[in-house]
C-alpha cells in the first residue's frame, strides 16, 4: 500500500486477517509506505498479518497512519491467536 485510504476487515470465526492471510493462512511480505490504513482481523486473526491460526512474516511499515486491531485475542500486527507467530516486523517513520 503506497497511498490513499484503505479499510480492510476480516469477518467470521477463524477467518482472515484484515490485510494478509485468509482463514488459517499466513500473511507474508506485506509493505505499507503511506496512506491511511485501518485493518481489523476477523475472530482470532491479526489486523495485519496471519489468519486465524497462522503467522505474519516480513511486514514492513515505513510511513502513513496505520491502525491495526486483532480480532478475538490476536495481534494487531503479527500472528493469529492460535499459535501464529509474528516474525521480521519492521515499523519506522
Q: What is the mean pLDDT of the chain?
A: 92
pTM: 0.94
C-alpha distances (whole Å) from 19 to each of 49, 82 are 6, 18
Q: Is 81 helix (H, G, I), strand (E, B) or coil?
A: coil
In the block, residue with C-alpha cell 507467530? 85
Higher pLDDT, 23 or 59: 59
* Percentage of the residues of the chain whose pLDDT score is greater than 70: 97
Helical (H) or strand (E) element with 77:
strand 77-78
Q: Quick one: 78 exposed, middle or buried, by C-beta within 10 A (0-12, 13-18, 19+)?
A: buried
Amino acid at each position: 500500500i503506497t497511498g490513499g485510504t484503505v479499510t480492510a476487515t476480516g469477518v467470521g470465526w477463524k477467518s482472515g486477517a484484515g490485510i494478509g492471510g485468509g482463514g488459517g493462512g499466513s500473511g507474508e511480505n506485506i509493505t505499507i509506505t503511506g496512506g491511511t490504513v485501518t485493518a481489523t482481523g476477523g475472530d482470532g486473526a491479526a489486523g495485519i498479518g496471519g489468519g486465524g491460526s497462522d503467522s505474519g512474516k516480513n511486514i514492513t511499515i515505513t510511513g502513513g497512519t496505520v491502525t491495526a486491531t486483532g480480532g478475538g485475542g490476536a495481534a494487531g500486527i503479527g500472528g493469529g491467536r492460535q499459535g501464529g507467530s509474528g516474525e521480521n516486523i519492521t515499523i519506522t517513520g
